[in-house]
């Protein structure tokens, strides 16, 4: 006697479901396209380009900007993603992109964009992933007022540009959510900020190779308990490997080749970094013995200490 009652239920369920859909659709707010303000911010970005890689074909102001090439919107039609990597774009990055208040990810990697990196983007209160790597950006990173509240930025890739100047420490104090910073292959000068892991306890990747950084490796990096990749090769760094680094026990890659680092490699420090897969300290002025503890690093795959004064 179960069967008839089931089919009886289903006859009611189907029309009821249909009615619910009709109700939901008619109750939904009339936001069927992106706002004029968001559209105008994107158009301002477009007008800052002198080569737009053919974007104007789809970026027509009489159409919904959520349908434009490279643009993704949320369900309520707010722009969340601008993905324009490898589009042959030339020109500058408009600060007006910072007016897209729901923007989560901006990827302009592998273009030929020049000019500065607008502070509005680095200090945005919505962006979590910002990738402007492989462009021709110039100028420096701007200072932020120390009163700036914590920023949501998690991934910042500014590598392979022509950026100069020091890393202002104030900027990192507000980056409490930073997971990966790739600033390699630029022209940054000055010291590595001491502040990194006080501000960004969640830092996993810190890549600073191929710059002009000087001074020593800050002991504070030892406080980066999540740090797995630490790279700073091909700079002008001096001093010793700080003992405090032995506290960064998540480290898998420790790479500082071709600097002016010196001193003895501490056996206990190396021993506590049990997760190391890569040690590259070649081309420095380290002296003394190669620590025995290296033999106990079970995961070690790459071990480069050439061109030092080791015995
Ligand atoms: C939009 O961005 C520009 C450039 O950053 C800024 O001057 C302007 O105040 C912003 N407008 C709004 C409504 O946020
Ligand atoms: C940006 O886009 C490029 C090309 O699609 C991709 O390789 C890269 O991983 C993206 N960046 C991020 C941070 O996802
Ligand atoms: C930039 O760096 C981030 C973080 O390391 C990475 O996810 C992304 O793929 C990189 N982008 C490119 C184009 O390699
Ligand atoms: C940083 O970016 C460079 C390209 O500029 C890339 O080769 C490198 O793998 C990146 N490093 C990390 C740790 O993401
Ligand atoms: C390299 O570092 C040394 C010692 O810190 C400093 O005297 C020198 O000016 C630096 N050179 C460059 C090009 O930054
Ligand atoms: C490592 O961390 C512990 C606990 O936070 C601290 O007591 C110790 O002094 C640190 N060691 C070094 C070498 O910084």
- Domain ranges, ordered by start, for the chain: 19-190
Fold classification of 19-190 is: 3.80.10
Name residue, tokens 């000019």. 115
Q: What pLDDT score does 171 carry?
A: 82
Q: What pLDDT score does 89 carry?
A: 98
Ligand 2 atom 4, closest CA: 85
Query: In testing the pocket of ligand 5, which one of 236, 239, 240, 258 has its CB within 8 Å of the most ligand atoms?
Result: 236
Query: In testing the pocket of ligand 2, which one of 85, 87, 133 has its CB within 8 Å of the most ligand atoms?
Result: 85
Distance 109 CA to ligand 2 centre (A): 7
The atom of ligand 3 lying closest to the CA of 110 is 13
57: tokens are 């074909």
**Which one, of 70, 69, 68, 120, lies nearest residue 93 by Cα?**
120
227: tokens are 């740090």
Cα–Cα dist 90/46, whole Å: 10
Q: What pLDDT score does 226 carry?
A: 95
Q: What pLDDT score does 32 carry?
A: 77
The atom of ligand 4 lying closest to the CA of 207 is 13
What single DSSP character describes residue 100? -
Q: What pLDDT score does 48 carry?
A: 96
**Ligand nearest to the backbone CA of 181:** 3
Q: Is 103 exposed, middle or buried (0-12, 13-18, 19+ CB in 10 A)?
A: buried
**214: Cβ below 6 Å to ligand 5?**
yes
Cα–Cα dist 235/162, whole Å: 15
240: tokens are 């010793």
**Ligand nearest to the backbone CA of 48:** 1
Q: What pLDDT score does 22 carry?
A: 44
Q: What pLDDT score does 31 carry?
A: 58
Cα–Cα dist 24/169, whole Å: 50
Cβ atoms 309, 287 nearer than 8 A: yes
Residues of the chain with confidence (pLDDT) below 50: 1-30
- For residue 58, count other CB atoms closer than 10 A to its CB: 13
Q: What pLDDT score does 9 carry?
A: 44
The atom of ligand 1 lying closest to the CA of 95 is 5
Ligand 1 pocket, CB under 6 A? 95-96, 98-99, 120
Name residue, tokens 């324009």. 84
Distance 159 CA to ligand 4 centre (A): 7
- For residue 18, count other CB atoms closer than 10 A to its CB: 10
């Amino acid at each position: 006697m179960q069967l008839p009652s089931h089919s009886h239920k289903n006859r009611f369920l189907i029309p009821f479901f249909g009615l619910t859909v009709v109700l939901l659709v008619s109750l939904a707010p009339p936001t069927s396209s992106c706002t004029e303000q968001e559209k105008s911010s994107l158009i301002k970005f477009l007008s800052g380009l002198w080569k737009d890689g053919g974007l104007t074909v789809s970026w027509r102001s009489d159409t919904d900007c959520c349908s434009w090439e490279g643009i993704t919107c949320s369900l309520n039609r707010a722009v969340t993603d601008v993905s324009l990597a490898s589009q042959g774009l030339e020109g500058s990055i408009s600060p007006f992109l910072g007016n897209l208040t729901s923007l989560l990810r901006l990827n302009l990697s592998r273009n030929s964009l020049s000019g500065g990196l607008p502070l509005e983007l680095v200090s945005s209160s919505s962006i979590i992933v910002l990738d402007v790597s492989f462009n021709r950006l110039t100028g420096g990173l701007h200072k932020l007022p120390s009163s700036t509240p914590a920023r949501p930025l998690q991934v910042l890739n500014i590598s392979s540009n022509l950026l100069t100047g020091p890393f202002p420490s104030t900027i990192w104090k507000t980056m409490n959510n930073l997971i990966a910073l790739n600033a390699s292959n630029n022209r940054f000068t000055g010291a590595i900020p001491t502040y990194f892991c006080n501000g960004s306890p969640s830092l996993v990747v810190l890549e600073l190779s191929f710059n002009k950084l000087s001074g020593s490796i800050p002991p504070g990096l030892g406080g980066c308990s999540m740090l797995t990749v630490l790279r700073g090769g091909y700079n002008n760094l001096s001093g010793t490997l700080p003992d405090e680094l032995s506290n960064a026990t998540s480290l898998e890659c420790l790479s500082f080749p071709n600097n002016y680092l010196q001193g003895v490699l501490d056996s206990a420090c190396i021993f506590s970094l049990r997760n190391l897969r890569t040690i590259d300290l070649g081309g420095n002025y380290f002296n003394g013995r190669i620590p025995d503890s290296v033999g106990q690093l079970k995961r070690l795959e790459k071990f480069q200490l050439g061109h030092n004064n080791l015995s």
